[in-house]
Amino acid sequence: MKLTFIGVGGAFTRKYYQSNMVLEIDGKRMLIDAGSDARHALHALGMWYQDLHAVYISHLHADHAGGMEWLSLATYFDPTFVDGSGAKRKLDLFLRSSLREDLWGMLKGGCGIQNIKTSLRTFFNLHSLAANRPFKFNGVSFRTVQTVHFVDDTEIVPSFGLFWTAANGKKVFLTTDTQFSPSSIQTFYNAADIIFHDCETSPFRTGVHAHYEDMKNLPAKLKARMWLYHYFDTPLPDAKADGFAGFVRQGQAFDLN
């Protein structure tokens, strides 16, 4: 099992692409989030949509879902996108059911096809995930973890991180996007052997991500298990000196077995 960060930057990055990953399990690859930079980030590492078997979408900000129109149309119109028997194939699409309608609302205008009434199922094998119901990809069970991303007027809008166990028993927590709210995800902090955590580093806080200055105050034992990503183009602080495992670099791969 290998997790490769095809990008590690925040939404406004110019250098690091966006925070999307490819998780490979026994030769099958799942793209975790498909931001608007995803095709460039994949290409930079010698990968393309033909190398993928599934995609997971954590939430609908463009740096996490803005590449879905490209992925939909590219796989649909490519006559070579077939399985081993030569049959046309589709990627599996995993997302929480609460995101399904709004995701198609984003894509519908650009995914029209001559003489076809399109939907998400036109392009993907759709798996709408209920709360507290895990899903499986290539034999591994994944739990979606609701985080507090931002508040729209008076409504909390979440992102959905992932928690899973590798073949050797190592427990992995990927936050996707979350405010600094350790109490809301403390259970997963405590359970994980390795944590990949989004982390703002800009001096101008957006308020919708955990910021490095707040993260520094977490307990030392917790920080030692944390790799940080989703940062800005500004110079990075010395995360290892502050007790973290470090900042993930664009293209860095983690052998989770």
Torsion angles phi and psi, residue 53, rounded to 5: -125, -20
- What average pLDDT does this structure show over 94-118? 97
Give pLDDT, residue 255.
Answer: 97
Whether the CB-CB separation of 30 and 80 falls below 8 Å is answered with no
Q: Per-residue pLDDT for 136 more than 90?
A: yes
Residue pLDDT, tens place only, 154-171: 888 899 999 999 989 999
Share of the chain above pLDDT 70, in %: 100
- What average pLDDT does this structure show over 142-151? 94
At residue 55 the predicted structure's pLDDT band, cuts being 50, 70 and 90, is very high
- What average pLDDT does this structure show over 113-141? 96
Tokens of 66: 């803005």
Judge residue 190's burial from the number of C-beta atoms within 10 Å of its C-beta, 0-12 exposed, 13-18 middle, 19 or more buried.
Answer: exposed
- What average pLDDT does this structure show over 112-139? 96
- Strand 194-198 and strand 171-174: the pairing is parallel
At residue 151 the predicted structure's pLDDT band, cuts being 50, 70 and 90, is confident
- What average pLDDT does this structure show over 124-146? 96
Average pLDDT over the chain, rounded to an integer: 96
Overall pTM surpassing 0.95 (yes/no): yes
Q: Give the separation between CA 197 and CA 210, rounded to whole angstroms.
A: 8
Residue pLDDT, tens place only, 59-105: 999 999 999 999 999 999 999 999 989 999 999 999 999 999 999 99
Q: Per-residue pLDDT for 256 more than 90?
A: yes
Q: Per-residue pLDDT for 242 more than 90?
A: yes
Domains belonging to the chain, first-starting first, are 2-253 (3.60.15.10)
Torsion angles phi and psi, residue 190, rounded to 5: -65, -35
Of how many residues is the chain composed?
257
- What average pLDDT does this structure show over 113-126? 97
Whether the CB-CB separation of 81 and 89 falls below 8 Å is answered with yes
Q: Per-residue pLDDT for 204 more than 90?
A: no
Tokens of 123: 């392009």
Give pLDDT, residue 257.
Answer: 87
Q: Give 136-152 as a DSSP string.
A: EETTEEEEEEEEEEEEE
Q: Give the separation between CA 23 and CA 55, rounded to whole angstroms.
A: 10
Give pLDDT, residue 156.
Answer: 86
